[in-house]
Amino acid sequence: MLFVKKIFLFFKRESKLFHNNIVDLLSNIIFFFLSIFVFVFALGTDEQLLRSIGLGIIWSLLLFSSTLSLRKFYEDDFNNGVLIIFHMSGISYEFIAFLKIISHFLFVQMPFLISLPIASIFFNLPIIEVYNLILTFIIGSLILSCLGSISASMNLLNKTNFSIGSILVLLFSIPLIIFSVGINEYENNFYSLFNLLLGIALIFLGISPWSSGAFIKLALKNK
Amino acid sequence: MLLVNNLSFYRNDILIFEDLNLSIGNGQITQIRGKNGSGKTTFLKVILNILDSKIGEIFWEGKNIKKNIFNFYNETTFIMDQNTSSRKLTVFDNINFWRGLSSSKLNDYDINLLLETFNLKKYKDTKVMYLSTGEVKKLELLRLILEKKKLWILDEPYNHLDDLSIEILNQTFIDHINKDGIILFASHFNPSIENLRVIDFN
């Protein structure tokens, strides 16, 4: 019961921090929309062209937008020692990483869900593709949060070069893009591709708390 | 009782301290004093298993802390030299977070009394980022009373405090050791506390 209370307390604190940092979140969403505008203006008014490449562009921009907030994933809590205090209350660094992934998924990735139907209008996407986009985004964003956790915890060890973490996220998200965009092109294989995506999400949900926890411990030893 | 046996620590093959032995019994207060870079903070972090020492052992109540780390943490409050309060949350939000983590039994009335004692009551709903360095330090020290643990480990607790706050902190230390608590702290400051044992890291 006490453990559940601590988890509840963690999410309460995270929600307050995200509420206070709402400007950061808004700037990510604004970046996403402005990038879409840039693409739409650059490609012109060919509806067919926009429709055929729209999904790929939206996914690529979602990826870039979500890497913008990665720097703050662990940095504040690491620098002010909250990670240590939280660990000393009886929670392992691996579980802290797991909670951080869920909180990033809920408070950073989910607001993008609202912006997806609006972004789809600019590319004239058919409604079935919008549904698929939302569905794949729910799973894909969880994968992005997992990748973000690994990359951000790695960056605690190497504070001078943040781009290494972003490169890692972009590299590992290639399968995510392939399956998320491909799900619309191969409608007959919808369930097999969807299951593959779900499988990747579960693998990363298993791996990333463990690896992030190890990186956090290493970073604390080198602090 | 906290017992340290033949503890040595190397960082990047550089010796920080060697063959350190220490025992602190119930109702005792120990200060670690030493010049900058003498390894005071490192020593505290090794005791708390934040830094891993391959040589030597640490025992808490007769048990090796590495094998019973969460039991050890359950009875320990660690006040760091940096501030663990979140700058973008209010004073009360931070206190609520710490109170929940440590399952403190203090209610809102007790918290208000504590804030009044430390002269922080007027800042209860103010974000920590608007507080002065000394006030943030006092907020940090509130965790000692909030968590009510047996072992207090503090790194530079007197930094940024005014004379009145130093007096309150000394009295808090005395009250804790009178209740059979154990205190280990690293500081350059020389507090006037009776029976204070000093370990010189120079």
A26-61 tens-digit pLDDT:
898 999 999 999 988 898 878 888 888 888 899 899
Q: What is the DSSP letter of B61?
A: T
Best A85, A107, A223 residue to mutate vs chain B (most B CBs within 10 Å): A85
A88 contact residues in B (CB cutoff 8 A): 48, 73, 76, 78
Contact yes or no for A148/A212 (Cβ under 8 A): no
pLDDT digits over B27-78, tens only? Answer: 999 999 988 888 899 999 999 999 988 889 999 998 999 888 999 999 999 9
- What are the boundaries of each domain within chain B? 1-75+150-202, 85-149
Res B42: pLDDT = 92
Residues of A with CB below 8 A from B149's CB? Answer: none
A75 and A165 in contact (C-beta within 8 Å)?
A: no
Predicted pLDDT of residue A175? 85
> Does position A190 have pLDDT exceeding 70, yes or no?
yes
Over range A155-172, report the average pLDDT: 79
d(CA A11, CA A8): 5
Asked if B102 lies within 8 A of A79 by C-beta distance, the reply is no
Beta strands in chain B (DSSP E): 2-11, 14-24, 29-33, 55-60, 63-64, 76-79, 151-155, 182-186, 196-200
Buried b / exposed e over A119-131, threshold 16 CB at 10 Å, is: bbebbebeeebbe
pLDDT in tens, A92-121: 999 999 999 999 999 989 988 888 999 999
Encode pLDDT of A114-147 as tens digits.
889 999 998 888 888 888 889 999 999 999 999 9
Q: Write out residues 143-162 of A within 8 Å (CB-CB) of B.
A: none
The predicted structure's pLDDT at residue A186 = 67
To the nearest whole angstrom, how far is the Cα of A182 from the nearest Cα of chain B?
42
- Would the CB atoms of B50 and A20 count as touching at under 8 Å? no
Residues of chain B scoring pLDDT < 50: none
Question: Which pLDDT score, from 0 to 100, does residue B185 have?
Answer: 94
A24 touching B (Cβ < 8 Å): no
Confidence class for position A187, pLDDT limits 50, 70, 90:
low
* Helices and strands: H and E segment counts in chain A: 11, 0
CATH class of the domain defined by B1-75+150-202: alpha beta
- The per-residue pLDDT for B119 is 87
Q: Does B82 touch chain A (CB under 8 A)?
A: yes
